Amino acid sequence: MNWILVPQQFMTGILNGGTLALIALGIVLIYKSSEVFNFAHGHMVMLGAFLVWFFAGGTSQEASGMPFALPFGVAVVAAITVAVLVGLAIERFTLRPMTGQPLLAIILVTLGLAQLLEGTTTLLFGTQPKGFPSPIDSSSVITIEVPPINGQSIVFLDRIILKQVLVVTFIVAIIAAVIFILFFRFTRAGLRMRATSENHELARSVGIKVPRVFGMSWAIAGIIATIGGILLAMVSGVSINLATVALVAFPAILLGGLESFGGAILGGLIVGLVAEMVKASTVIQVRNSAEIAPYVLILIVLIIRPEGLFGRKRIERV
Amino acid sequence: MLKVNNIEVVYSDVILVLRGVTLEVGDGQIVSLLGANGAGKSTTLKAISGLLHSQQGEVTRGSIEFDGQRIDNLTPDDIVQLGIVQVLEGRPLFEHLTVEDNLRTGALFRGVSNAQLKQDLDEVYHFFPRLLEFRNRTSGYLSGGEQQMVVIGRALMAKPKLMLLDEPSLGLAPLLVQNIFRIIEQINAESGVSMLIVEQNANVALQTATYGYVMENGRVVLDGSAEALANNADIKEFYLGIGAGGERKSYRDVKHYKRRKRWLG
């Protein structure tokens, strides 16, 4: 371990992890409510980013073809609205007809959806990566000076450099996650969703409109995905690849446990952290393993705790 | 208030489960539906509450009427809205929710104010004082009897006119069974909720109910006032386990076997 690099990598890792946590939350939401692992979530994230890019009229280098460019904030609202409609449409037209079919078939449908979303996006916006009309300059940084102790540097170059955009995305992601969890925990709609997630037939028997709850889950997943997409795009621009970037949320979920929001958030932070921390290693092979490090970690965690760190344990009375 | 007219239920388009079931529940009445395993009791309840649809079941003939309105094609949530709530077999809970959250789910569809909700909760706690103590516990860890209380309490939160209870005595100790049925009677007397109770425990069911139906092989084979049923020789033998003169029966006993077979035909 190259200790002098650790503080810098630690901070960057945590900040990266925030967005992952938010994206992971969307997948957990769908899984909790309907037991469907949504492989299309990464593509919803990508679509969200493209939508904001489109509504905001693109960038000064490349216009999006939107006749009247909207201010960034309005573009975000417009994109979220579309994402909600897309979420509702997905539930209504692809998943509801599958009710009662084997779970595997439904999960495969989400794989198909992923392709559909990718194809549609390419068709509408082309394959070229775009710049993102980010309200924050991606080159501005926040520098934290760490003075050497007894003439001995504890941090490389005596300072930790944080990209301002990463700090902002982290804060936004955490706020969004907290709002969502409060909603789930304390509102009646949240109770409806929690009940449905436990037992569909039972939820039906107490008069909960289960299809409506599913629709709502997908709509919220659309919102979360779009916010995640915006945050990713602010850091790395808009492209089809965002869907793949969002795939890193999968290890985050498995790590935290498929059914736990808290676990998804923690999982996201850990994955972000691990992917950055390996870069502080002195061994070159480890240093270059940032992409696979989270998966190695999952293997270890799942061997010890098969339900993930915070997975729901089956309640069994003895 | 509830009229089931000669219904036929088919699962997955091929499996005929109910072959003409007719029964009636009057206002404020407790009616019990008896029968062996697989006789179609639970299916009858699910046909009434609309839960058949999610299990690929369908009412193919006959009709179900509630307060003069046909309900056999409504969705479960519409039927709950009308005032029929089913308490499913095996007292299923939202295990990871607290007791109070479980109770609250029962009232969700009514969209009432928080104050009203609080009042309804208090009413449930009046019938089940134990639950007040456990209101913030995770319901999955309660004992069987307490879970049964939660399940009935949750149904009460719907302010139903008719409750469909599927085997409330399942897996409970005799003393607890007595206790649960006493509360059922109390709810019926104080809140005027009609009850249709499916039971294997014919003894306690016939003590509580005023009228009873006996099902075999997907049809009603016998009905009558609870008293008449309790004194019926066949019921005594097949369900209450009291043989004529107290001696045990064997299949070698042709007369007994034929009598039983007549029912199954």
Buried b / exposed e over B212-243, threshold 16 CB at 10 Å, is: bbbbbbbbbbbbeebeebbebebbbbbbbeee
Hey, are the CB atoms on B77 and A209 less than 8 Å from each other? yes
- On chain B, the residues whose CB falls within 8 A of the CB of A191 are 97, 101, 104-105, 108
Does the pLDDT of residue A115 top 60, yes or no? yes
Chain B residue with minimal CA distance to A202?
B92
Provide ipTM, 2 decimals: 0.82
Has residue B117 been placed in a domain? Answer: yes
* pLDDT the model gives residue B120: 94
Residue A58 zone, left/alpha/beta (φ > 0; ψ -120 to 50; rest): left
Question: Which of A191, A192, A202, A205 is the best residue to mutate to test the B interface, defined by the most B CB atoms within 10 Å of its own CB?
Answer: A205
Bridge partners (DSSP) listed for residue B163 = B85, B195
d(CA A185, CA B50): 29
Strand duo B194-199 + B162-166: pairing: parallel
Q: What is the CATH number of the domain that holds A155?
A: 1.10.3470
Residue A283 zone, left/alpha/beta (φ > 0; ψ -120 to 50; rest): beta
Look at residues B239, B245, B241, B203 and name the one whose alpha carbon lies nearest to residue B222: B239
Return the ∠ at Cα A188 (arms to A187 and A192), rounded to 5°. 120
Bridge partners (DSSP) listed for residue A161 = A143
What 8-state DSSP symbol labels residue A93?
I
Contact status of A98 with chain B (Cβ, < 8 Å): no
- On chain B, the residues whose CB falls within 8 A of the CB of A198 are 94-97
Does the pLDDT of residue B263 top 70, yes or no? no
* pLDDT the model gives residue B35: 87
Read off the pLDDT band of A255 (50, 70, 90).
confident
Half-sphere exposure of B87 (CA within 13 A, CB side): 31
Hey, are the CB atoms on A317 and B143 less than 8 Å from each other? yes
Contact status of A282 with chain B (Cβ, < 8 Å): no
Hey, are the CB atoms on B86 and A208 less than 8 Å from each other? no
Residues sharing a CB contact under 8 Å with residue A312, sequence separation 6 or more, in sequence order: A257, A259, A260, B96
Hey, are the CB atoms on A206 and B109 less than 8 Å from each other? yes
Tens digits of per-residue pLDDT, A160-218? 888 889 999 999 999 999 999 999 899 999 999 999 988 888 998 999 998 999 999 99
Has residue A197 been placed in a domain? Answer: yes
Has residue A200 been placed in a domain? Answer: yes
Scan for tokens 């299923």, then name that residue: B92
Mean pLDDT in residue range A28-32: 90
Chain B residue with minimal CA distance to A210?
B77
Which of A 148-167 lie inside 8 A of B, CB atoms? none
Hey, are the CB atoms on B77 and A204 less than 8 Å from each other? yes
Instruction: Give the residue numbers spanning the domain of B149.
Output: 2-231
Return the ∠ at Cα A190 (arms to A186 and A194), rounded to 5°. 115
Has residue A29 been placed in a domain? Answer: yes
* pLDDT the model gives residue B3: 94
* pLDDT the model gives residue A295: 85
* pLDDT the model gives residue B93: 93
Has residue B22 been placed in a domain? Answer: yes
What 8-state DSSP symbol labels residue A128?
S
Contact status of A92 with chain B (Cβ, < 8 Å): no
The rounded mean pLDDT for chain B is 88
Read off the pLDDT band of B43 (50, 70, 90).
very high
Q: Name the amino acid, one letter, at A160.
A: I
Hey, are the CB atoms on B138 and A315 less than 8 Å from each other? yes
> What distance in Å separates residue B182's CA from the closest CA in chain A?
23
If one counts the domains in chain A, the total is 1
Does the pLDDT of residue A155 top 80, yes or no? no
Hey, are the CB atoms on A207 and B81 less than 8 Å from each other? yes
Has residue A133 been placed in a domain? Answer: yes
If one counts the domains in chain B, the total is 1
Has residue B260 been placed in a domain? Answer: no
- On chain A, the residues whose CB falls within 8 A of the CB of B92 are 199, 201-202
* pLDDT the model gives residue A192: 93
Chain B residue with minimal CA distance to A313?
B96
Scan for tokens 């607290």, then name that residue: B98
* pLDDT the model gives residue A143: 85
Integer CA distances (angstroms), A62 to A53, A75, A87, in order: 10, 16, 28
Scan for tokens 């388009």, then name that residue: B13
Instruction: Specify the range with the lowest mean pLDDT, choosing from A52-66, A106-120, A197-211, B29-43.
Output: A52-66
- On chain B, the residues whose CB falls within 8 A of the CB of A202 are 88, 92-94
Tokens of A144: 């934290």
Has residue A209 been placed in a domain? Answer: yes
Output the CA torsion sign for B201, B202, B206, B211.
Answer: positive
Instruction: Give the residue numbers spanning the domain of A133.
Output: 3-304
- On chain B, the residues whose CB falls within 8 A of the CB of A188 are 108
Q: Name the amino acid, one letter, at A305.
A: R
- On chain B, the residues whose CB falls within 8 A of the CB of A200 are 54
CB-nearest partner of B86 from A99, A199, A205: A205
Tens digits of per-residue pLDDT, A260-279? 888 899 999 999 999 888 88
What 8-state DSSP symbol labels residue B69?
E
Tokens of A159: 């300072």
Question: Which of B95, B112, B138, B166 is the best residue to mutate to test the A interface, defined by the most A CB atoms within 10 Å of its own CB?
Answer: B95
Chain B residue with minimal CA distance to A99?
B54
B86's enclosing H/E stretch is strand B84-87
Q: What is the CATH number of the domain that holds B68?
A: 3.40.50.300
- On chain B, the residues whose CB falls within 8 A of the CB of A99 are 54
d(CA B158, CA B112): 11
Q: Is the distance from CB of A308 to CB of A302 less than 8 angstroms?
A: yes
d(CA B114, CA A104): 41
Q: Is the distance from CB of B109 to CB of B77 less than 8 angstroms?
A: yes
Question: Which of B45, B108, B112, B157 is the best residue to mutate to test the A interface, defined by the most A CB atoms within 10 Å of its own CB?
Answer: B108
Hey, are the CB atoms on A198 and B95 less than 8 Å from each other? yes
Q: Name the amino acid, one letter, at A260.
A: S
Contact status of A287 with chain B (Cβ, < 8 Å): no
What 8-state DSSP symbol labels residue A313?
P
| Residue A9 DSSP SS3 | helix
Size of interface A-B (CB pairs under 8 A): 80
For residue B131, the Cα-to-chain-centroid distance in whole angstroms is 22
> What distance in Å separates residue A214's CA from the closest CA in chain B?
15
Radius of gyration of chain B (CA): 19
d(CA A78, CA A84): 10
* pLDDT the model gives residue A69: 81
Residues sharing a CB contact under 8 Å with residue B201, sequence separation 6 or more, in sequence order: B169, B177
Angle between helices A210-236 and A188-198 (to 10 degrees): 100
Other CB atoms within 10 A of residue A4 CB: 15
Contact status of B88 with chain A (Cβ, < 8 Å): yes
Mean pLDDT in residue range B40-51: 93
Contact status of B85 with chain A (Cβ, < 8 Å): yes
Output the CA torsion sign for A73, A79, A85, A90.
Answer: negative
d(CA A164, CA A53): 20
Scan for tokens 């969004």, then name that residue: A176
Has residue A101 been placed in a domain? Answer: yes
Read off the pLDDT band of A7 (50, 70, 90).
confident
Question: Which of A206, A210, A214, A312 is the best residue to mutate to test the B interface, defined by the most B CB atoms within 10 Å of its own CB?
Answer: A206
Tokens of B228: 């008449």
| Residue B220 DSSP SS3 | strand
The rounded mean pLDDT for chain A is 87
Has residue B222 been placed in a domain? Answer: yes
Has residue B265 been placed in a domain? Answer: no
Has residue B118 been placed in a domain? Answer: yes
